[in-house]
Amino acid sequence: MVSASVRWLHVVAGIAWIGSSFYFIHLDLSLRPNPALPNGVKGEAWQVHGGGFYHMVKYLVAPAKMPDHLTWFKWEAYATWLSGFSLLVIVYYMNADMYLIDKQVLDMTAPVGAAVAFFSLLAAWLVYEGLCRSPIGKNELALSLIGYVFLVALTYAFTHVFSGRGAFTQIGALIGTIMVANVFVVIMPYQRKTVAALIAGEKPDPAWGGYGKQRSIHNNYLTLPVVFLMISNHYPFFFATKYNWVIVAIVLIVGPLIRHFYNARHEGKESPWWTWFVVVFAMMVVAWLSSTGPKGQTGALPATPTFAQVNEIVMSRCSMCHASEPVWAGMAAAPKGIRLDDPETIKLHAKVIAINAALSSAMPPGNVTAMTMDERQVLAAWFEAGAPAK
Ligand code: HEC
């Protein structure tokens, strides 16, 4: 119940944050100059929504006189992070054995796993912040390339430290943390400084806006990969197959490309339609990579097994959780309502068994029941042969 409510809040806050930031990027890019506008105004935009017309005007630094009422956009970002981090603690840190670590990947205890995950969030953010503030931060192309290599290297490392699912959530949470920190540590403080200077009757430094703008562009390009990573833990073929880290590397290109298409379009430039060809091709590569089977799988499938063999594997590796009365400590009912505790239920669920435990290694979670690759191969051979009942 707690986890469901926090998840609900997280999704709603995320929608509000992404919605408002996409809106403002669009607004900023669609501003058109008009000589009739007052000095210090970059441009205007006309919009229609909900039965009324809106006339938006952007003041480059600030208006001559501060308005009495000013709306700030920050709680969407903070609420997304606070709820997301709570969810990370509830689901991944408190159940690290099942969702975060995999002892066959790296043998560590649950508290150590949670600590490694938490401190690597912090460390990665510090590295990013350092890069942005270093001379490299002045060169957008160099910064993007180094940033990309950094994120892919981290993903590779995480898939060798945590379970596939844990690694995907970790890299998503890490990018999300960088994005919220951009709002908290850079964008908001400089906005506050600007407003304070204006109230004091001083001239704010125009460079301040530039710092915020740089981070806001980073956030814009990072949004789609983060959303992909956040929903990917429902798709075993993405996180629990051989090339899971390559899939993330591709999505880290696809997401920004899609944003590039819309940014160019909203700016009134010619729409870069080529991006969609690249996106579709890249997603086909992702589909192919996700069909290559679980990590560690080699060689051809064994001869079609008998149902008795399959039954024995599922009963010994799955049924302690997937039963009407699970014997697994702390589990009240069969997860997701899926029972795998007699021949009938096993035959009924042949396909999802194959998806989660033979064609990928999503189940058992964190491989807590130490299922072997040979057993996965037996299940795969059974499924390939049409899941015979004998
Ligand atoms: C330690 C307990 C545990 C064991 C052992 C286990 N599972 Fe699961 N299983 C879970 C939990 C928990 C979930 C729900 C996962 C979630 O919340 O995403 C789940 C979900 C599933 C699902 C539903 C996935 C979906 O799409 O929602 C399937 C299918 C499944 N398990 C199959 C298996 C098979 C096959 C095995 C044996 C190879 C197995 N499980 C072993 C705990 C277990």
pLDDT digits (tens, 9 = 90+) for 302-323: 999 999 999 999 999 999 999 9
| Lining residues, ligand 1, CB within 6 Å | 98, 314, 317-318, 320-322, 328, 335-336, 338, 340, 352-353, 356-357, 363-365, 368-369, 371
- Cα torsion 143, 144, 147, 148: sign: negative
d(CA 283, CA 171): 19
Report residue 321 as tokens.
Answer: 């959780």
DSSP tag of 32: B
Ligand 1 centre to CA of 363 (Å) is 5
Continuous H helices in the chain? 2-30, 75-87, 96-99, 110-133, 140-159, 164-181, 188-199, 206-232, 236-239, 244-266, 274-289, 307-317, 343-348, 350-353, 373-384
pTM of the model as a whole = 0.94
Per-residue pLDDT tens digits for 330-376: 899 999 999 999 999 999 999 999 999 999 999 999 999 999 999 99
Does 70 have pLDDT greater than 90?
no
Identify the CA nearest to 128 among candidates 88, 171, 84, 175: 175
Quote the pLDDT of residue 62: 75
DSSP tag of 234: T
Residue closest by Cα to atom 29 of ligand 1 = 352
Instruction: Compute the C-alpha angle 73/78/82, nearest 5°.
Output: 160
Mutate to test the pocket of ligand 1, among 165, 321, 351, 371 (most ligand atoms within 8 A of CB): 321
The residue written with tokens 């603690």 in the block is 89
Q: Dihedral (C-alpha) 104, 108, 110, 116: value to the nearest 10 degrees?
A: -110
Report residue 53 as tokens.
Answer: 């017309």
Quote the pLDDT of residue 335: 95
Percent of the chain's residues with pLDDT above 70: 100
Atom of ligand 1 nearest to the CA of 326: 2
Residue closest by Cα to atom 14 of ligand 1 = 335
What is the chain's mean pLDDT, rounded? 94
Identify the CA nearest to 176 among candidates 138, 127, 225, 210: 225
Greater confidence (171 vs 66) lies with: 171
Residue closest by Cα to atom 31 of ligand 1 = 363
Ligand 1 centre to CA of 302 (Å) is 24
Atom of ligand 1 nearest to the CA of 368: 1
Identify the CA nearest to 45 among candidates 65, 61, 28: 28
d(CA 286, CA 248): 9
